[in-house]
Structure 1
Amino acid sequence: MWKFIVRRLIITIPQIIVLSVLVFLMAQMMPGDALTGQIDPSIDPAAIEQQRERLGLNDPWHVQYADWVGAAFQGDFGQSFRFKMPVTDIIGERMVNSIWLSVVTLVFTYALAIPLGITSGRYNDSLLDQGITGYTYIGFAMPLFIFALLMLWIFGFQLGWFPTSGSVTPGLVPGTFDYILSKLYHLILPSLSLALITTVSTVQYLRSEIIDTKQKDFIITARSKGASESRVYNRHILRNSVLPIAAFFGFEITNLIGGTIFVEQIFSYPGMGQLFFESINLRDYSVVNSLVLLFGIASILGALISDIILSLIDPRIRIK
């Protein structure tokens, strides 16, 4: 088992290196630079060019990349040109909100997916199953940003049940009970919007697993021995069908990365996704590079977690 984990960790190292190079090159190919639109056009162009030279914006890309990676290994992702503060401080402020959003979304996702998947698989071809399957088809076809906008318009603006922006009510003291309640209240609508879409793949997968397991020989044998239907489902079918869902936990983390970027922007939620959009518009390359790199590393680690969990469930897939 440890050999498998070590080998998978070794494989992730070149993946992260290639990712960092691609991220840096794509940022370099973006039109303009960090000073574009940020300096008074009446300033002498020679002074602007001197500023670019001082910031290293005129250096060859490989020199800039080496400087960036070297500083990143020391925990220094550079200075934000827009916010005039260290990138690590900016991301640290937003990361907490994004983690909260991801955790609550995962709770909603599994709280919805597991009961719906079990019900749909157990009573397949029934009206209840057709209703759940219809929901999953709509979820697959509905773009996340369209669904999030509908949720915001209906429950935020029309009904007024939930806040339409922000992560907490202004003026509350951090750490107090009211502050925590406000945090959770602001999380409900964006996290539920994301969960209702991301849950459909888990529902379909669990349904298919249950239907497939019901037809296995050991299930038929258990029924022929007189085992009750509840015992067959709880001790045999569910045990063999639900466990593989755990292997997709890492991929759920990967899917959340892309989802939170859109949801945070739509709900004006101050997380890393909203910061990502703002940094692109402002050509704040140091922040963009750092965020994309962090998103990519999270995706790679999510795949690693899934592989490890799957190897624990099914030892046959381990690398010899």
Structure 2
Amino acid sequence: MWKFSIRRILIMIPQMIFLSILIFILAKMMPGDALSGMVDPNVNPERLDEIRENLGWNNPWHVQYADWVGGVLKGDLGQSFRFKMPVTDIVGQRIINSFWLSVLTLIFTYAIAIPLGIISGRYNDTILDQSISGYTYLGFATPLFIFALVMLWVFGFTLGWFPTSGSVTPGLQPGTFEYFMSKLNHLILPSISMALITTVSTVQYLRNEIIDTKQKDFILTARAKGASESRVYNRHILRNSLLPIAAFFGFEITGLIGGTVFIETIFGYPGMGLLFYESILLRDYSVVTAVTLLFGIASIIGALLSDIILSLVDPRIRIK
């Protein structure tokens, strides 16, 4: 197990190097920079060129990349030209919000997916199963941003049950119970909106696993020996069907990354996704590259977690 984990971690090193190069090159290929689009007639274009030269933006890409990587290794993600502050400070302010949004989304995802998948798989080909399958098909066909807009309009603007933007009510003192409840209230609607869409693949996978396990020889043998139906499901079918679900935990984290960009933008939730979107509009490429790099590293780590969990579930896949 340790050999497998160490080898898998070592594979991450070239992945991260390639990821950093790709992100940097793509950012440099984007048109314009943070100084582009200034329409103030009093701004001298020669002065803008001088600023670009002083910032090193006119250097060859490999020189800029080396400077950028050197700063990243030291914990310096650069300076935001638009926000006038270090990128590390900006990310530090937003990453906590995105973390709690992802945690609550994962809780809702598994709280919804596991019961629905178990019911649908156990009572397959019934009206109940067809209803759950209909929900999953509808979820597969519905774009996340469309569903989020509907949820915001219904439960935010029409019914007024949840806040429509922000992460906490202004004026509350951090550390108080009211502050905590306000943070939670701002999290519920965006997290459950994302969970209701992302959960459909888990429901279908668990359903299919249960149906497939019910037909295995050891299940037929357990029934032939007189084991009760509840014992067969709880001790054999359900246990074997849930193990592969745990292996996809890391991939669930990866899937959340793309979803948070839409969710945080629609709900005005100040997290990493909204920061990424705003930085692209402002052409603040130091922030864009930093956030994209963090998203990419999170995806790589998510895949690593999935491989490790899957190796625990099924030791046959371990690298010898």
> TM range, normalised to the smaller chain?
over 0.9
The equivalent residue for 2:204 is 204
Aligned partner of 1:273 in structure 2 is 273
> In the alignment, which residue of structure 1 is the partner of 2:68?
68
Give the secondary-structure state (helix, strand or coil) at the position aligned to 1:53: helix
**Corresponding residue number in structure 1 for 2:112:** 112
Q: Distance in 2 between matches of 1:114 and 1:162?
A: 26
The count of residues paired between Structure 1 and Structure 2 equals: 320
- Deviation string 1:117-136 (CA, Å, 9 cap, x unpaired) is 00000000000000000000
SS in 1 for 2:9: helix
**Alpha-carbon distance in structure 2 between the residues aligned to 1:45 and 1:183:** 45
User: Which residue of structure 1 lines up, in the alignment, with residue 293 of structure 2?
Assistant: 293
1:128-143 map, 5 Å: 128-143=128-143
The 5 Å alignment of 1:1-320 reads: 1-38=1-38, 40-320=40-320
Alpha-carbon offset, residue 262 of structure 1: 0.5
Alpha-carbon distance, 1:40 to partner: 3.1
* AA matched with 1:309: I
Shift of 1:42: 2.2
Alpha-carbon distance in structure 2 between the residues aligned to 1:109 and 1:26: 33
* Secondary structure, aligned partner of 2:115: helix
SS at match of 2:82: coil
Query: Is the partner of 2:57 in helix, strand or coil?
Result: coil
Which residue identity does 1:154 align to in structure 2? V
Give the Cα separation in 2 of the matches to 1:99 and 1:164. Answer: 19
Letter in 2 for 1:57: W
Could you tell me how far apart the structure 2 residues matched to 1:61 and 1:11 are? 26
Give 1:35 shift: 1.0
Instruction: Report the AA paired with residue 208 of structure 1.
Output: N
CA distance in 2, matches of 1:265, 1:276: 10
Secondary structure, counterpart of 2:36 in structure 1: coil
Q: What is the CA–CA distance in structure 2 between the aligned matches of 1:205 and 1:38, rounded to whole Å? A: 52
Identity %: 76
Deviation sequence 1:155-177 (CA, Å, 0-9, x none) = 11111111100000110001111
Q: CA deviation at 1:43?
A: 1.8
Quote the offset at 1:46 in angstroms: 1.4
User: Matched residues in 2 for 1:297 and 1:177: separation?
Assistant: 34
Distance in 2 of aligned mates of 1:72 and 1:172: 35
CA RMSD of aligned residues (A): 0.8
Post-superposition CA distance 1:52-89 (Å, at most 9, x none): 10011111111110000001000001100000000000
- 5+ residue gaps, structure 2, are none
* Structure 1 pair 293–132 and aligned structure 2 pair: CA distance change class (3 A): same
Deviation at residue 39 of structure 1 after TM alignment? 7.0
Relative to structure 2, which stretch is displaced further, 50-59 or 32-41? 32-41
| 1:265 partner SS | helix
Letter in 1 for 2:32: G
After TM superposition, the structure 1 stretch with the greater mean CA deviation from structure 2, 37-46 or 207-216, is 37-46
1-structure distance, mates of 2:46, 2:156: 50
Q: What CA distance in whole angstroms lies between the structure 1 residues aligned with 2:82 and 2:293?
A: 19
In 2, distance between residues paired with 1:73 and 1:302?
21
The one-letter code matched in structure 1 to 2:164 is: T
In structure 1, distance between residues paired with 2:247 and 2:40:
54
The alignment partner of 2:85 has SS state of coil
Q: Provide the rounded CA distance (Å) in 2 between the counterparts of 1:283 and 1:182.
A: 33
- Partners of 1:45 and 1:256 lie apart in 2 by 42
| TM-score of the two chains, using structure 1 as the length reference | 0.99
Counterpart CA distance in 2 for 1:38 and 1:272 is 26
